[in-house]
Amino acid sequence: MATTIQVSKDLVKELKNRKMYDKESYEEIIWDLLEDSMELSEETKRHIKQSEKEIKEGKTVTLAEVKKKLNL
C-alpha cells in the first residue's frame, strides 16, 4: 500500500543530493539509509568472523599479487 508523507524542503533537497542516479526514487534512497542501520544476518556475522580468522592466519593475497597473476 502506497502512502504520501510530508517532508520539508530541506529534506527533499538532501534526498536529491543523495541520489546515485537521476531515476533513483526517494523510496530507494530511504531504504538504503535504513539498511545502514539494520542488524546483520547471522550468516553475514559468520562470514565476517571467518574472514577475520583468515586474515589473522595470513591467508590473504595482496592487490599486487592479484595483478601479477592476472597479467595486469
Q: Which residue has the cell 543530493?
A: 17
pLDDT 10s digits, 6-65: 999 999 999 999 999 999 999 999 999 998 888 888 999 999 999 999 999 999 999 999
Give 15-38 as a DSSP string: HHHT-SSTT--HHHHHHHHHHTTS
pTM beyond cutoff 0.85: no
15 neighbors 26 (Cβ within 8 angstroms): yes
In sequence order, the 6+-apart residues with CB closer than 8 A to the CB of 40 are 48
